[in-house]
Amino acid sequence: MGAAAVRSKLSTRYNMKFPGTILLTGAGGMLGVRLLPHLKKAFKKSRIFSVFHGAGSQVFETTAVGDLTDKDFLEHVINASQPDLIINLAALTDVERCENEPELARRVNAGIPQALAAQAPDAKLIQLSSDYVFDGKSGSYIPDSLPAPLSVYGKTKLESESMTLQNSRNLVVRASGTFDWLTTGNLFSYFAARLDEKLKVRALSDSFYTPIWADDLARGIVGLLKQETAGLIHYAGPERMSRYYFALVIADEFGFDKTLIERANQKDFNWKARRPADSSLNSAEGYKQAKVTPHTLAEALAIMREQMEAPVSEIT
């Protein structure tokens, strides 16, 4: 096969709705745990190579475990997987840690997608981003809204976007306040654990966003892949709300004592990183593109409550 024929073959495979090999990074994280089963169901003929940073458990199904900021490990992953499609969920999402360790934040949040794109230039890259790329002065942001990140975390996510979008076939998906019960380290798991133990929680009443259940975000990403969407898309929850309201709905659904939930403002916390006051996203175009609409918060929590009463093996 001549060079021209090879280039022609490569240029057409990005339109394939069933990629040969999918590389999923961050497979052991909150979204990765939900996304992997949906990918397997949607792309049954595809080989899925999943990577998790750190020691996994029986809940996490991974092909390789290691640090993608390590050049040798990343090269090993690319050589072993030979991906047609890369979905990068690997990130440092601790906003305060990013502020305190900016070089680490850039190495993870911007460096990993840059290295993946460089090592696998023929693969389509899907990069997950955040509502924290905005300053929060207006809210209900559309994809064309001008980013103005306030924190190191937001700046490094914006860097990952810019790098990803240098190639027109790639896709950036911005989300907002992803939550779930299968993994810890998110606002739902924090609120639910403390309220279940009858401990008080402080929840921001002056900070608004559009939270989305991880399973809904996973379904949305699969929908975008099926529709071969490229460019920049918002895919967040359908409701704008404060963190305080988020906590109240959790208490309603799970029967927790709502008097344990205290209103708070950002100034009440000794945070180094600045947070946007209203980072809510308008995801109408994302829903249209994916042909999937996420559940409301109350609907998602009701499903989660049922799942929490079932064996994990029935969920993942």
Tell me the two tokens of residue 23.
């590389």
pLDDT of residue 314: 58
Q: What is the mean pLDDT of residues 13-40?
A: 82
Element spanning 187, H or E: helix 187-196
Q: Which pLDDT score, from 0 to 100, does residue 3 have?
A: 33
Does residue 136 come out as left (phi exceeding 0), alpha (psi in the -120 to 50 range) or beta?
left
Residue identified by tokens 């967040």 is: 236
Structure confidence at residue 9 (pLDDT): 34
Domains of the chain from N-terminus onward:
3-180+211-238+279-296 (3.40.50.720)
Of 33-37, 58-62, 138-142, 148-152, minimum mean pLDDT range: 58-62
Q: Which residues contact 313 (CB under 8 A, 6 or more apart)?
A: none
pLDDT band at 15 (very low <50, low <70, confident <90, very high): very low
Give the pLDDT confidence of 239-266 residue by residue, as tens digits: 999 999 999 999 999 999 999 999 999 9
Higher pLDDT, 44 or 213: 213
pLDDT band at 62 (very low <50, low <70, confident <90, very high): low
pLDDT digits (tens, 9 = 90+) for 105-148: 999 999 999 999 999 999 999 999 999 999 999 999 999 999 99
Q: Is 198 left (phi over 0), alpha (psi -120 to 50) or beta?
A: left
* CA distances (Å), origin 274, targets 189, 207, 270, 282: 23, 12, 10, 22
pTM: 0.89
Tokens 């949305």 sit at which residue?
Answer: 220
Two tokens, residue 280:
């809510």
For the chain, list the strands marked E by DSSP. 21-25, 47-52, 64-65, 85-88, 124-130, 171-175, 178-179, 201-204, 208-209, 212-213, 231-234, 241-242, 261-264
pLDDT exceeds cutoff 60 at 1: no
- Nearest-angstrom CA–CA distance, 182 and 184: 7
Residues above pLDDT 70, as percent of the chain: 90
